[in-house]
Chains A and B, each alone.
Chain A
Amino acid sequence: MVKILYFAGLREATGQGAEEFALPDDVRDVAALRALLRKRGDAWAEALAESKRVRAAVNQDMAAGDTPVTDGDEVAFFPPVTGG
């Protein structure tokens, strides 16, 4: 299982803030996980579309598409940050 968190506009668009997710064997990185989540339906496909600027973090470090994801990880998806 991995824990997946969604923040800001992504949380609102998907209607989901946090979930426990069973990671299929063939999903080994952030890009593959994002692609799999897109298959959940229109809202997910739209919010996580490749054309959208979506940032990700693995275990609370900024991640890229090829950052590995393994069981027990905390993965987060969110829009580009706008603090300060």
Chain B
Amino acid sequence: MPVRIQNEDFDIGREVAQLRRDNPQVGAVASFVGVVRDLNDGKTVAEMTLEHYPGMTEKAIEEIIGQAKGRWQVYDALVVHRIGRLAPLDQIVLVVVTSAHRGDAFAACEFIMDYLKTQAPFWKKEKTPDGARWVEARASDDAAAERWQTKD
């Protein structure tokens, strides 16, 4: 279950090809790419810096992927998350899920992304015209993760 934290950019085509290579059982590949926007909370963002908790970040994402594999029929999943300095238009995060059918692939991909937003230790600091600021966590992200919770 591959998880990579890196400074370098990624190539989605290459990552998808790698993940589904030599597996003719794969009938669906779902992917998500998160990208840096130039506007957040009403302010222009010139640049951001992403910080993480080495060790725990990888572990937390591996656990999220494990949960997704327990809930949906998933062959494989990949998460690549960038750290360091990023500018608007840059790619930040990639999630790829392979499955036999699209329903499982879509659901698992969205689940992994929603949980990553609230459980994986990353922090963004933005440069705006008024100075640098740490990005505040959003209630809407907590709500997005909570809707996956099952009543059992």
A residues neighboring B (CB under 8 Å): 5, 7-9, 53, 57, 60-62, 76, 78-84
Contact = CB atoms under 8 A, between A and B. Distances in A.
A84 B92 contact: yes
A81 B120 contact: yes
Contacts of A81: 117-123, 137
Among all A-B residue pairs, the 4 with the closest Cβ atoms: A83-B122, A80-B137, A8-B123, A60-B56
A79 to B, nearest CB: 6
A81 to B, nearest CB: 5
B115 to A, nearest CB: 10
A82 B53 contact: no
Contacts of A83: 50, 52, 81, 93, 116-117, 120-124
Contacts, number: 71
Interface residues of B, number: 27
A62 B134 CA distance: 21
Nearest to B113: A84
B135 interface: yes
A79 B81 CA distance: 19
A5 to B, nearest CB: 7
A8 to B, nearest CB: 4
A9 B134 contact: yes
Contact of A82 (B56, B59, B136): B136
Nearest to A76: B53
A56 B3 CA distance: 22
A3 B81 CA distance: 26
Contacts of A61: 56, 59
A7 B123 contact: yes
B53 A5 contact: yes
Given A7-B53, A8-B123, 9 more contacts: A53-B137, A60-B59, A81-B118, A82-B136, A83-B93, A83-B116, A83-B123, A84-B113, A84-B120
A61 to B, nearest CB: 8
